[in-house]
Amino acid sequence: MRLTVRSGRLGDVRDGVPVFAALEGEQRPERLLPLSVTRDQALRRLVDGSGFRGAANEVVLLPRGSGWILVVGLGKAKELSLERVRQLAGTAAKAARARGVKRLSLPVLREQGLGAPAAVAQALTEGALLGLYRYDKLKKLPPHERSRRIEAITLIAERRGEVADVKRAVEKGQVLAEAVGLARDLINGPSNIVTPTHLANHARAIARQFRLGCRVIPFPQLKRLGFGGIVGVAQGSAHPAQFIVLDYRPPRAKATLALCGKGITFDSGGISIKPSAKMEQMKYDMSGAAAVLGTVKAAAALKLPLRIVGIIAATENLPSGTAQKPGDVLKTLSGKTVEVLNTDAEGRLVLADCLHYAKRYKPDGVIDLATLTGACVVALGSEAIGLMTPDERLAARLNQAGKATYERVWRLPLWAEYGPAMKSDIADLRNVTNTGEAGTITAAKFLQEFTEGLRWAHLDIAGTAWTEKERPYVPKGAVGVGVRLLIELMERWTKAVTE
């Protein structure tokens, strides 16, 4: 898709279907955005006559001369935010595509509370491109449906002096959208295609594209090296596990961050098998790994001045004659032993090896992402990522990054009183409690056992990585959550180090 930036007034630019925005409940014509449109009395009368109210993501397509205009609601003025701008762009782009529009013009809105034009332009770019995403690689679409594609989007900056900053913001938004798109593709892909080897090959491709370091440790070597967590989970599958390390190391890096991703490409539960209902969705149990791959790719494309080490444990969790059994004891890479009471609590086993492995890089921060617990879905639903960390500063940074990207986090406690629930009678640890209480927190307490000496945070994305409900810039299925959050965190980290 071609993305361009021009200066001027939206009403004067003839570059595809223009998208106007309006606030809800504002009857005064000057509240129709952008402000320049108030000079067009015919347009004002057209909008008034359509019954359009300006509710968030309300859409009306109206004839204008020999063409069309699209008007999208922003909602109430007091609720105006960059998130509403993302939604505006996603809603507009999808509405235009559905009507066969090929080219679109979006205004870089100048409203109080939205910040600099560059921030608005980035939000518009992210919203439009993520809204247009669809996973149709495996479908045979009719010709008319396949031809419905937006070919060009133009962002209209009101002032000529803003164009350079807006262009840079558009480029950044495009990088982020492409990285999220990569994550979505991997998550949406069926598990007979997206295998552990498939993830490893994607990591190698990213490494070649950006000249990154990449190490893939195959299953036989994992057994010899003592990666007991991932080996225990993987031993029931015909697809060999892959331990993937993708290393973006720019010159004069200001800090080192390690990202650990759970990469269970299909989770049947193992011997502790899951119910059959919706088991097909368990291909998304590698959403943490997908987010790590997308984040490292985006960090390299944006040339962030931080070393980013992506560490992924990729395997399937399947029942077979060789699968681990409830009651088995395995020895993790750290040397700690774990009694496996439930083979469906496998994500924490593979992450234990990832977290210990991360110590060799002496990172300034470690963040793991995992679709770890159903309890997190019960606690927070699909609106918030579960955040657990003993580090107040890291928690604050993640919270700020979540608010900025609308990939919001909600912190749960990691009090010492939760720790004894993970102690085993015959091993150092057990992988689940015998009470069923505080499942999300106790899973994080298990992981904390492998983070000694690390500044660490755990993100449980079980409720946010997949959606059954389409949203303005998030289609049904894979969300690609975590990529934009982590890039925002890294940029804030860079500023903090520089200051």
Of 451, 252, 482, the closest CA to residue 363 belongs to: 451
Active site annotation includes 274: yes
- The conformation of residue 132, written as its DSSP 8-state character, comes to H
| Cis upstream peptide for 34 (omega within 30°) | yes
Contact 480, 389 (CB under 8 A): no
Give the C-alpha distances (Å, rounded to integers) separating 123 from 28, 117, 130, 248, 405: 26, 10, 10, 26, 9
Strand order in the sheet with 329-331: 329-331, 337-339, 429-430
Tokens of 447: 């992981």
**CA–CA separation, 415 and 419 (whole Å):** 8
Give the number of other Cβ atoms within 10 Å of residue 154's Cβ: 18
Give the angle 148-149-152 at the CA atoms, nearest 5°: 145
- The conformation of residue 412, written as its DSSP 8-state character, comes to -
**CA–CA separation, 84 and 88 (whole Å):** 6
Contact 332, 429 (CB under 8 A): no
Tokens of 167: 């262009």
**CA–CA separation, 340 and 313 (whole Å):** 18
Tokens of 317: 């969790």
Tokens of 352: 């234990």
Torsion of CA 199, 318, 386, 449, to 10 degrees: -100
- The conformation of residue 474, written as its DSSP 8-state character, comes to B
Active site annotation includes 97: no
Block residue for tokens 């860079």: 494
Torsion of CA 339, 372, 185, 205, to 10 degrees: -50
**CA–CA separation, 443 and 338 (whole Å):** 13
**CA–CA separation, 336 and 228 (whole Å):** 10
Contact 388, 399 (CB under 8 A): no
Exactly one of 262, 283, 348, 397 is catalytic; which is it? 348
Exactly one of 274, 336, 359, 471 is catalytic; which is it? 274
Annotated catalytic residues are 274, 348
